[in-house]
A and B are shown apart, each in its own frame.
Chain A
Amino acid sequence: MKIFIDPPNSLVLFDLVERFGHEPLSTMAAIQERVDNLEVDMPPMNVTLDDVVKGLKYAGIEVPSGVRGRLALWGPLIEAADAAIVMEDCPYSFGCVGCERSNLMIKYLVHRRGIPTLTVKYPETDEDAVNFVAQAKEWMEGLK
């Protein structure tokens, strides 16, 4: 199954999803398409006109352009996903207008799609990590 990961560029989530036999949908794959196929100077910092139009599907014209640019990458991934795994309170996933609003929009879009979703906290201790890995493994085995 295709599993969308949030944060979409997380190494830990990408590795665990692959390890337990599913296909992770991540930012890296979306950016790779642009790196390989488009003559854009530095994706994802630079976007094409098509990206801006795609972003409008997920966020209104009045939201900051950074949110639309990010959603142009992540929106199609969420639409293609069969399930999602969301890690909350990641210390590297924060921000003010663009970043945080994009993170909230991801959670909203995943919720709106109604796909099976596992929401976990960022593990702070070894015991938390054991619980997190066990929960992720049981959940992903149940998806098959």
Chain B
Amino acid sequence: MSEERETRLYMISPRSMLTPDQLVRMVHAFGDKALVKETCYGCLVEAPRKENLAILAKVREEYPNEVFSKIRAYRCSDPRRCRAQHGTRPGFAQLEEEWALLSKIQYGLEQVEKGAKFKPGEDRKRLDVNAFKKICEVQ
């Protein structure tokens, strides 16, 4: 991973009451020298990796289970990706799909914090011969 520049994407879970505007203002208020761009799903933050990780830690402190993040390959407003400059934004369909999943993940994180444990699912059992015969007879 590059140490010089890291562009990070922050996405707000649909279960959260936080708005992208509030998130951007909060990141600005941290006072770090980072480029912040508001988007429909959250924001993009561009800074050296060290500073970006510090911002991520502060955001996690404020909103531990509501804001999710990953790195982004292209810079903010890169003409090859930015919609404002008629870029194609080819990854957006996937982001949209994952945005819907985030509410469930947020719920999962909250429950795990409260102490929920992993419950392995039941193994599939073999079908009883008599039950199989009945199925065959019906058909």
Contacts and interface: CB of A to CB of B under 8 A. Distances in A.
Interface of A: 9-12, 14-16, 18-19, 23, 26-36, 42-43, 91-92, 122-123, 125-126, 128-135, 137-138
Given A126-B104, A137-B112, A28 B97 contact: no
B36 to A, nearest CB: 19
Interface in B101-120: 101-102, 104-105, 107-109, 111-112, 116-119
Interface string B56-70: 000010000000111
A125 B69 CA distance: 22
Given A91-B97, A134-B112, A134-B118, A125 B73 contact: no
Query: How big is the B interface, by class?
Result: 35 or more
A36 B73 CA distance: 9
Contact of B104 (A23, A35, A123, A137): A123
Interface of B: 1-2, 4-5, 7, 9, 11, 60, 68-75, 78, 80, 91, 93-95, 97-98, 101-102, 104-105, 107-109, 111-112, 116-119
A14 B9 CA distance: 11
Contact of A11 (B68, B74, B104, B112): B68
A11 B102 CA distance: 9
Given A26-B71, A33-B2, A92-B93, A134 B104 contact: no
Contact of A92 (B78, B97, B108, B117): B97
Contacts of B107: 126, 129-130
Given A32-B71, A129-B108, A12 B101 contact: yes
Nearest to A139: B118
Nearest to A29: B1
Contacts of A131: 108, 118-119
